[in-house]
Amino acid sequence: MIPWLPPALTDLLIEAAWQTLLMTFGGAVIAIIAGLPLALLLHTTGPGGLLPNGWINRPIGLLVNAIRSTPFIILMVAIVPFTRLVAGTSIGTTAALVPLALAATAFIVRLFENALREVDRGVIEAARAMGATRTQIMARVLVPEALPGLIAAITVTLVGLVGYSAMAGAIGGGGLGDLGIRFGYQRFMPEVMATVVAILILFVQGLQSLGDWLVRRFSRR
Amino acid sequence: MPDAPGQPPAISLHALVREFRGRGTPMRALDGVSLDVAPGEVFGIVGRSGAGKSTLLRCVNLLERPDSGTVTVLGQEMTRLDEAALRQARRGIGMVFQHFNLLSARTVAGNIAFPLEIAGVPRAEREARVAELLPLVGLEARRDYYPAQLSGGQKQRVGIARALASRPRILLCDEATSALDPETTEEILSLIRSIRDRLDLTVLLITHEMAVVKAICDRVAVMEAGMVIEQGRVFDVFTRPAHPTTRRFVSEVIGHVVPPGTVARLPDPNPGEERRLLQVLFAGPSSTRAVVSEASRRFGLDLNIVSGRIDAIGSEPYGLMALAAYGPPNAIEEASAWMRSLGLDVSDIGEDPA
Ligand SMILES: Nc1ncnc2c1ncn2[C@@H]1O[C@H](COP(=O)(O)OP(=O)(O)OP(=O)(O)O)[C@@H](O)[C@H]1O
Ligand SMILES: [Mg+2]
């Protein structure tokens, strides 16, 4: 299929691409699902928020920062017991999803929080003046108004996950990055490395363009 | 319509205090403010930046909770309500903002329908209400535009329509025209006035422009450093400002009665006589020319009209005139007293009016 690679490697490449997709999108989906409520919680309980509360805000903020400042390769190893608990195993693509999702969540929470903070305070005040509940303000004002920013945050996270997933090979996660290292570097097959890098570049470009297009699509400013 | 006697006030603020504790010493944004707004009137609050106007307005729907004092709106004591009841009460109070505060992700129609959505009004009813409100604010053709595609004046029309969506009986306006050019300001003010006339609405608005007060308010309160320093009917406050700050505000619109430099050009009084500058204010139909010439004849004075103007506040005409009076001191006093007895407001403004 790929003329300059032996057929067996093509199969491996396809499998690895599939693993990368799974780790990237799987990690992102979990990060979005976990990250948005957390970001809303941080925003709401933060200073000047709808319901300021340092006892909730500070510990969560600290935890998020701690995860973000731990290098991913260390995080992966450090949470092995947790990974085993969640995924039932500590090696393989599914197991790699656990640290990926965790790191991506901590990453996206701050980006989401920034996007929410960009929402004009006056609009929130207007909603309060209309008698909106906090839930209504979050669901109908904060999230829709921040949507372009949230989409941009998701794009950045996806691109970041593509990079992180390359390290997942360390715990048998597979993926394109792992393939590139094993064949391109360790077995000295530069054509494999080049192919892997080319695919990754195309992939990231595609993600970025899609994200930018969506941001424009939802941006009404 | 305003000031119907015997009716309880639509908005009653009593002894409001609000303190902000910043880094330094606590500062009192509101320092014991009390005022009543009668049903159906347009009540203005003016004051310089930082006087506490916005804080006061935000206390009415309790966006800002006063440290002490009571807020009563339409007979309901807002300061006592729990959260749910307060949200309900807020739905009966529309609010318009200086920077419009529209949802950028929603169209004009979506913005107007928003408060109804919040209140759980069914879709069909929401749409019917939007269809009613669009022509009221003249935006039928802009129904599906996004705020970013509108001019400032159009955005404020959306803001007004949105504030009226849930048929409130109170409308609060925080500098609703301050971000607009003079012509658009005029448009928005007349819209607010016509809405007040057509709907059963009480309007409380804050502004730092006396021209806005003159254009649409029935009564006005002047604020300074968290206190109301003067309040009354706009006509009275404009024609007889008591507090120096009010006088400064009023002069922005009414202008100096005596143009600067005039005094220097006046002739000196004869020996034994005096020269005094008198400000004469007449409201209503009194004919001043006759008064001036008669006073001159009766009291043997020389009366020069230094400046004069006739204007109206609301529908009430008034005239403001500066006279240079020459003559014996007691004759000037007598003439002043005589003019006062005719219902004119006469004051000695000295020779160097600020
Ligand atoms: N949330 C707040 N925290 C601290 N200080 C505040 C807060 N809100 C208002 N103040 C202070 O209270 C005072 C009155 O503010 P306010 O906004 O009511 O003034 P204003 O009369 O509306 O002024 P402007 O014409 O500039 O809008 C100001 O000195 C302001 O700094
Ligand atoms: Mg203000």
Q: B280 vs chain A: nearest CA distance in angstroms? A: 46
Strand partners, A35: none
Domain boundary among B253, B284, B302: B253
Q: What is the dihedral of CA B26, B29, B32, B33, to 10 degrees?
A: -170
Give the phi and the psi of residue B106 in degrees, each rounded to 5: -115, 150
CB contact under 8 A, A145 and B63: no
Domain boundary among B253, B288, B319: B253
Query: In this structure, are B267 and B184 located in the same domain?
Result: no
Query: In this structure, are B189 and B311 located in the same domain?
Result: no
Query: In this structure, are B20 and B131 located in the same domain?
Result: yes
Query: In this structure, are B99 and B245 located in the same domain?
Result: yes
* Best CA proximity match to B18, nearest among B81, B96, B70, B77: B70
Q: Would residue B287 count as lying in a domain?
A: yes
Q: Would residue B41 count as lying in a domain?
A: yes
CB contact under 8 A, A126 and B95: yes
* Best CA proximity match to B8, nearest among B214, B169, B227: B169
Q: Would residue B6 count as lying in a domain?
A: no
* Best CA proximity match to B257, nearest among B293, B209, B307, B304: B307
Query: In this structure, are B248 and B264 located in the same domain?
Result: no
Answer left, alpha or beta for residue B148, where phi above 0 means left and psi between -120 and 50 means alpha: alpha
Query: In this structure, are B67 and B205 located in the same domain?
Result: yes
Domain span at residue B244? 11-253
Q: What is the pTM of this model?
A: 0.87
Task: Evaluate whether A5 touches A13 at the Cβ level (below 8 Å).
Answer: yes
Find the CB nearest A220 among B90, B118, B146.
B146
Q: Would residue B27 count as lying in a domain?
A: yes
Give CA A87 to chain center in angstroms.
19
Q: Which of A130, A140, A214, A215 is the best substitution to test chain B (most B C-beta atoms within 10 A)?
A: A130
Q: Would residue B1 count as lying in a domain?
A: no
Q: Would residue B353 count as lying in a domain?
A: no
Query: In this structure, are B40 and B170 located in the same domain?
Result: yes
Write down the residue that tokens 């790699």 correspond to.
A96
Residue B342's CATH number: 3.30.70.260
Domain A22-173: give its CATH superfamily: MetI-like (1.10.3720.10)
What ipTM is given for this predicted complex? Answer: 0.89
Find the CB nearest B103 among A125, A133, A141.
A141
Q: Would residue B5 count as lying in a domain?
A: no
Q: How far is CA B195 from CA B56, B135, B151, B188, B200, in A?
A: 23, 12, 21, 10, 9
* Best CA proximity match to B11, nearest among B168, B163, B177, B225: B168
* CA quadruple B212, B218, B221, B222: dihedral sign: positive
- Please work out, in degrees rounded to the nearest 5, the angle formed at the alpha carbon of residue B56 by the alpha carbons of B52 and B59: 140
Find the CB nearest A220 among B61, B105, B117.
B105
Q: Name residues of chain A where pLDDT drops below 50.
A: none
Residue B83's CATH number: 3.40.50.300
- Nearest atom in ligand 1 to B53's CA: 21
List of chain A residues whose C-beta atoms are within 8 Å of the C-beta of residue B146: 220
Answer left, alpha or beta for residue A52, where phi above 0 means left and psi between -120 and 50 means alpha: beta
Spatial distance between the Cα atoms of A164 and B343, rounded to a whole number of angstroms = 88
CB contact under 8 A, B63 and A220: no
Give CA B135 to chain center in angstroms.
27
State residue A181's pLDDT score.
Answer: 87
Q: Would residue B101 count as lying in a domain?
A: yes
For chain B, what is the HEC assignment?
Answer: CCCCCCCCCCEEEEEEEEEECCCCCCEEEEEEEEEEECCCCEEEEEECCCCCHHHHHHHHCCCCCCCEEEEEECCEEHHHCCHHHHHHHHCCEEEECCCCCCCCCCCHHHHHHHHHHHCCCCHHHHHHHHHHHHHHCCCHHHCCCCHHHCCHHHHHHHHHHHHHCCCCCEEEEECCCCCCCHHHHHHHHHHHHHHHHHCCCEEEEEECCHHHHHHHCCEEEEEECCEEEEEEEHHHHHHCCCCHHHHHHHHHHHCCCCCCCHHHHCCCCCCCCEEEEEEEEEECCCCHHHHHHHHHHHHCCEEEEEEEEEEEECCEEEEEEEEEEEECHHHHHHHHHHHHHCCCEEEECCCCCC
How many CB pairs (< 8 A) connect A and B? 68
Spatial distance between the Cα atoms of A180 and A192, rounded to a whole number of angstroms = 6
List of chain B residues whose C-beta atoms are within 8 Å of the C-beta of residue A136: 118
Domain boundary among B237, B253, B269: B253
Spatial distance between the Cα atoms of A20 and A166, rounded to a whole number of angstroms = 8
Query: In this structure, are B145 and B163 located in the same domain?
Result: yes
When divided into structural domains, chain B yields a total of: 2
State residue B256's pLDDT score.
Answer: 62
Quick count: other Cβ atoms within 10 Å of Cβ A175?
28
State residue B279's pLDDT score.
Answer: 84
Query: In this structure, are B129 and B206 located in the same domain?
Result: yes
Taking CB atoms within 8 Å and a gap of at least 24, the contacts of B284-289 are B284/B316, B284/B317, B284/B318, B284/B343, B285/B317, B286/B342, B286/B343, B286/B344, B288/B319, B288/B321, B288/B344
What is the full per-residue pLDDT of chain B (354 aa) written as tens digits?
Answer: 444 556 889 999 999 999 998 777 889 999 999 999 999 999 999 999 999 999 999 999 999 999 999 999 999 999 999 999 999 999 999 999 999 999 999 999 999 999 999 999 999 999 999 999 999 999 999 999 999 999 999 999 999 999 999 999 999 999 999 989 999 999 999 999 999 888 889 999 999 888 899 989 999 999 999 999 999 999 889 888 889 999 888 877 776 667 777 778 888 888 888 888 888 888 766 556 678 888 889 988 888 888 888 888 877 888 888 888 998 888 888 999 998 888 888 888 776 544
Q: Which of B20, B65, B101 is the best substitution to test chain A (most A C-beta atoms within 10 A)?
A: B101
Write down the residue that tokens 């593509």 correspond to.
A162
- For chain A, which residues make up each domain, given as ranges? 22-173
Give the phi and the psi of residue B76 in degrees, each rounded to 5: -100, 125
CB contact under 8 A, A129 and B63: yes
Tokens of B57: 């307005």
Give CA A172 to chain center in angstroms.
20
Query: In this structure, are B242 and B265 located in the same domain?
Result: no
Identify the contact set of chain A against chain B, taking CB-CB distances under 8 A: 120, 122-123, 125-133, 136, 140-141, 144-145, 147, 218, 220-221
Tokens of A164: 């992180």
Residue range A83-97, pLDDT digits in tens: 999 999 888 899 999
Spatial distance between the Cα atoms of A101 and A23, rounded to a whole number of angstroms = 9
Q: Are strands B42-47 and B202-207 parallel, antiparallel or unpaired?
A: parallel
3-state secondary structure of A211: helix
